[in-house]
Amino acid sequence: LPKGILFDAVLPDVPCSNSGVMARRCEVRYRITPQAVKKLTHVQYAILEKAAALVRPGGRIVYSTCSILEEENNQQIGRFLDRHPDFDFHHATLHPPRPQTPERYDCDGGFAALLIRR
């Protein structure tokens, strides 16, 4: 991207453990290890940092994962806000996975947080 361009909104596409989608991806349970999650959180945070540099004052970041793990979600947001006093936390939502029924098809879990730059 050209230097100096700032955006109204950024949706970083961070890699995650997929812990919220195990019902569909059962191989996930064999690759989620503490070491794998630690590596992922470092990459996630680096991407979140890059996203912050691209948001104009008054702009938003939506940080989202298909994970339900605390260290990939609320801990990342807390760490980011501790280091970025120019951002405000607006709200976050954690959707735990639910059993699928004939009436309900949204069985996956995930997380999303809205951050707004002052």
Among this protein's residues, is 66 annotated catalytic? Answer: yes
Out of 16, 26, 66, 107, which one is annotated catalytic? 66
For 4-31, letters b (16+ CB in 10 Å) and e give eeeeeebebebebbbbbbbeeeeebeee
Residue located via tokens 């009436």: 103
Residue located via tokens 């195990």: 22
Q: Which residues carry out catalysis?
A: 66
